[in-house]
Structure 1
């Protein structure tokens, strides 16, 4: 099966792609394009999948990823890291030939571009990073490189959808304490005292409030579409011992 590269109209003309599990060389519960070094998959398969993913989006570019920790921290990149990857959840660059990569398995991948300034960014927005301000920090880091938020286009890729994301009352209270208007991102759940959370909608709203010029949501549910995407929550519900990770990429020629 060939690698599926999902692209956003908002980022047209910029080398980018949201990749799922289709294609790749991994087998078993990691079957497909698993790129997660934190998984128990074979190291050689992960390395081959990463190379295949990079070639599918920007052939010849150097893939750069970080050690993701659900933080609001951003790294500005001008060359591949010489040693250990820094702990962070977003990357920005204005250097051609680098391909920024963010790994997800239900969290929201967000890709950014200011075409005029020649600045791009990628952020991993799980609920912790999202409420902690990882997208705001990414925008600020892009502006430090010469971007303008009114020119930045952002796209939110495949992530767990509201229909698949049940949370408890403590979770909703945390978001309500941050901003009472966050109530609109929750609907009643299937069980008493539980709610369905719209992660994609929340991240999109943060981007809009921040003044991003164009925001696109792809509306793709990682949990529900097993054929196309890996999902941490789906694997957990099934009692599986591990799960794959997919990658979202953006770079400059």
Structure 2
């Protein structure tokens, strides 16, 4: 068995009852375009490398991650119910301590959501399609159903593509602005007609705030603009995947 090393990670401010982080591309065994900590099983990387990278991640977690089959939608899986295989969903929720939620990204946003007391936890995969279809709102609905007395919610928006590197077309602009005029400031028109620069983290924060989340932290990292630290599907189509994991600490931490 190869040596286990502490993985480089990105996280945010301390959070009562919650532990969370996003991996970087460092600390693994993959080579070439996937160097080094690619944990994406649906890539063309050597499967033995992906398995070793996932083993290294698992060594730093309290339990096996609850992986999802992400489809860029708004379905929310209940991670407290056993499943035989990863469900088709882009978010999951739990109220069980030590249950590790996990999603994969390579430009889309990982979004951690929990109540202030750390009793209910959600983790969402939010690209523009997921955001536009309401994956964050659906996650909050599922969480509020579990702790209806919670009055305070927090969110962390992890590394994703930044506005200066996220060019989109009129279809993406319309998907947000036609339904919510308040989303307009998060798009900057380019000189080329029909082209926009979209602020994905800003859109996520906007929608979270509208849904009643008042404490929202943005990581400030752009996956496209930091090639030494992150994978980016837009920058390199043969791209690895980052993992964001989160779990409730429980009384024992």
Contact 1:16 1:250 in 2 (8 A): yes
Question: In the TM superposition, what whole-angstrom CA distance separates every residue of 1:68-102 from its partner, at most 9, and x where no partner exists?
Answer: 00010001112553x22110000000112221001
Structure 2 residue aligned with 1:106: 107
Matches within 5 A, 1:64-213: 64-78=66-80, 81=83, 83-116=84-117, 118-146=119-147, 150-189=151-190, 191-213=192-214
Kept after mapping to 1: 8 A contact 2:132/2:175 = no
Shift of the alpha carbon at 1:115? 4.6
The TM-score, its normalising length taken from structure 2, stands at 0.90
| 2:245 is equivalent to residue 222 of structure 1 | no
**How far is 1:51 from its partner?**
2.4
Residue 48 of structure 1, CA deviation = 1.8
1:124: how far off?
0.2
Whole-angstrom distance in 2 between the partners of 1:109 and 1:144:
22
Q: Residue 8 of structure 1 contacts residue 216 of structure 1 at CA under 8 Å; is this kept in 2?
A: yes
Deviation at 1:2, TM superposition (A): 5.4
TM-score if structure 1 supplies the norm length?
A: 0.90
Contact 1:2 1:22 (8 Å CA) reproduced: no
For the structure 1 residues 163 and 121, does the alpha-carbon distance in structure 2 shift closer, same or farther, using more than 3 Å as the test? same
What does residue 41 of structure 1 align with?
45
Tell me the C-alpha RMSD between the 2 structures.
Answer: 1.8
When residues 16 and 148 of structure 1 are mapped into structure 2, their CA distance, relative to the original with a 3 A threshold, is: farther
Please say if 1:243 is aligned against 2:247.
Answer: no
1:19 to 2:20 alignment: no
Distance change >3 Å, CA 80–CA 49, structure 1 → 2: farther
Shift of 1:125: 0.4
Gap regions ≥5 residues in structure 1:
237-241
CA drift of 1:3 comes to 2.0
Secondary structure (helix, strand or coil) at the match of 2:243 reads: strand
Partners of 1:119 and 1:148 in 2: CA distance: 11
SS of the equivalent of 1:15 reads strand
Between Structure 1 and Structure 2, how many residues are aligned?
Answer: 245
Q: Identify the structure with the greater helix proportion.
A: 1
CA spacing shift, 1:199–1:149, aligned 2, 3 Å: farther
CA contact (8 A) 2:224 2:230 kept: yes
- d(CA) in 1 for partners of 2:133, 2:12: 25
